[in-house]
């Protein structure tokens, strides 16, 4: 995804397309400075802005999304995590004079866990947090008191 950042810096035409993206992929290893990318660009190895702009009509985003799905988890639009990353995406896109589409899908890249059991524990925690975010306020308070 770093390649996208490099190509955006040298191609205003590529940056002009950022507001059209339906689904963003997020590398959140550095949670304070996540890196964003879209499948039709990051799904192709060593693609350049020039190649993308010449061939984007022939590039298949469905194929790249299918290939990337094993490495990502979709964030639920009602979750706290979605809201946080949507805000960071909006801030990043504002640097290019763009805003995210409404609605927009956010896909977070899974970490490469060294210990699979730790990854499972984290997924359960994220699931619980997502469910808790959907509860009415009084039920969230009740849940907290039970924990």
Closest CA to 28 of 82, 95, 67, 69: 82
pLDDT at 120: 52
- Indicate the pTM of the whole model: 0.73
- Three-state secondary-structure class, residue 23: strand
Residue 134 has pLDDT above 50, yes or no: yes
- Three-state secondary-structure class, residue 27: strand
**Cα separation of 42 and 4, whole Å?**
7
**Cα separation of 125 and 52, whole Å?**
38
pLDDT at 110: 86
95-to-82, 89, 100, 111, 136 alpha-carbon distances in Å? 20, 10, 12, 27, 35
103 cis-preceded (ω within 30 degrees of 0)? yes
Residue 60 has pLDDT above 80, yes or no: no
Q: E strand or H helix at 25, and its extent?
A: strand 23-27
Mean pLDDT of the chain: 86
Confidence band, pLDDT 50/70/90 cuts, at residue 112:
low
Number of H helices, E strands in the chain: 8, 4
Residue predicted with more confidence, 134 or 42:
42
């Amino acid at each position: 995804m770093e390649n996208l950042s490099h190509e955006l810096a040298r191609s205003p035409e590529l940056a002009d397309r950022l507001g059209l993206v339906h689904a963003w992929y997020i590398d959140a290893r550095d949670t304070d400075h996540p890196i964003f990318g879209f499948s039709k660009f990051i799904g192709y190895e060593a693609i350049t802005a020039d190649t993308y702009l010449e061939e984007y009509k022939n590039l298949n985003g469905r194929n790249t999304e299918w290939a990337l799905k094993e490495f990502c988890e979709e964030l639920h639009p009602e979750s706290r995590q979605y809201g946080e990353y949507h805000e960071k995406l909006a801030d990043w896109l504002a640097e290019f004079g763009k805003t995210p589409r409404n609605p927009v899908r956010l896909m977070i890249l899974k970490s490469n866990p060294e210990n699979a059991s730790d990854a499972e524990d984290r997924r359960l925690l994220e699931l619980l947090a997502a469910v808790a975010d959907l509860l009415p306020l009084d039920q969230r308070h009740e849940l907290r008191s039970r924990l």
